[in-house]
Amino acid sequence: MSASSSKIPYLLLALAAIALDQVTKLAVLATFQDFERVNVIPSFFDLTLVYNPGAAFSFLADQGGWQKYFFLGLAAVISLYLWRSIVRNDFARWGKIGAAMIIGGAIGNVIDRLAYGHVVDFLLFYWQDWYYPAFNVADSFICVGAVLLVLDGLTNKKKEPEKAV
């Protein structure tokens, strides 16, 4: 397998993440009214339709619009860096999988910001009076990908060159 063809599975994973994210968001947008909730698992999980102009946990959501461009640029820089790291073999296999997942999730949310001006969220987990902020499939890919990158970093440290004494 050539060096460039060995990167195809990671590109396909990123594209699959984007597709799954966008298909689920389009289904929710076509089915739900704004802020509508449908219980799936009693006292634990609902589907809902909410919007997030910020980042995770609505970080910077109330900043008047500039954050959209900030998050677009940040996603582009991170995605390019991670793709470059995949191409340069900076990660072991699980790290490359994690990087591809982050790229796919980031681009999925970028598509939302460009198309709607905010991110579409619809997965809502809760217990009694505690609610985890609603999120989407792209966010899930980003989180799992980040865990894989951390694990890769902990388990596959590159050897430092020995110093001359």
Distance from C-alpha of 144 to C-alpha of 64, rounded to nearest angstrom: 30
pTM: 0.85
For residue 162, being part of any structural domain is answered with no
Q: Which residue has the tokens 């999730």?
A: 105
**Catalytic: which of 21, 46, 112, 139?**
139
pLDDT at 52: 86
pLDDT at 68: 65
For residue 164, being part of any structural domain is answered with no
pLDDT at 56: 56
Range of the domain at 26: 5-141
Residue 39 banded pLDDT, cuts 50, 70, 90: very high
pLDDT at 53: 72
Distance from C-alpha of 154 to C-alpha of 133, rounded to nearest angstrom: 29
Calculate mean pLDDT across residues 1-24. Answer: 89
For residue 147, being part of any structural domain is answered with no
Tens-place pLDDT, residues 81-101: 999 999 999 999 999 999 999
Q: Is 112 a catalytic residue?
A: no
For residue 159, being part of any structural domain is answered with no
For residue 146, being part of any structural domain is answered with no
Distance from C-alpha of 154 to C-alpha of 89, rounded to nearest angstrom: 16
Tens-place pLDDT, residues 109-137: 999 989 998 899 999 999 988 999 999 99
For residue 125, being part of any structural domain is answered with yes
**Catalytic: which of 34, 121, 129, 152?**
121
pLDDT at 3: 60
48: nearest Cα among 27, 59, 58, 33: 33
pLDDT at 72: 85
Q: How many domains does the chain have?
A: 1
Q: Is 21 a catalytic residue?
A: no
Which residues is 28 bridged to in the sheet? Answer: none
Tens-place pLDDT, residues 46-76: 999 999 876 555 545 555 656 667 778 888 9
For residue 154, being part of any structural domain is answered with no
Residues in contact with 45: Cβ distance below 8 Å, sequence separation at least 6, in sequence order: 39, 123, 124, 125, 126
